[in-house]
Amino acid sequence: MVKLIVGKKGTGKTKKLISLANEAVENSNGNVVVIEKGAKLTYDVTHKARLIDTEQYSISGYEAFFGFLSGLCAGNYDVTDVLVDSTFKIGGTNIDEFADFIEKINALAVKTETQFTFLVSADENDLPKSLSAVSEKI
């Protein structure tokens, strides 16, 4: 399943993501991964979660990001939750590319039985309606 935390800058999305990550660690029987651009969540997310900075791996664009997430799931079969901060900073702000990415991630989530949560800095009305079919907004 794919979940989106949607809202404009300054609406508390990152705090919600941190809370969800820490909660997932407590409830998971596997591994929880938090992905960000830059190392700003180091002290907010519990050390029991795997924190990954995309800048260390030169990830840019949705194709590279999808490959990275696929490899993450392939390399570690017990990843239960992946939470992503700053999705548009990693993949870009092209809404159509983002929608295609989420559709592919939804298929990956089903195959790997992994919960994906993405933080999206946008107005909910700016996102395509097609995202409602493959994701849940929180």
CATH code of the region 2-137: 3.40.50.300
Who's near 94: CB < 8 A, 6+ residues apart? none
38 φψ region: left (φ > 0), alpha (ψ -120 to 50), beta (else): left
pTM given for the model: 0.90
Locate the domains of the chain by residue range. Answer: 2-137
Write down the pLDDT at residue 137. Answer: 67
Residue with tokens 């990830």: 59
Q: What are phi and psi of 51, to 5 degrees?
A: -100, 125
Residues 93-128: tens digit of each pLDDT:
999 999 999 999 999 999 999 999 999 988 888 888
Residue 28, Cβ density class (10 Å: 0-12 exposed, 13-18 middle, ≥19 buried): middle
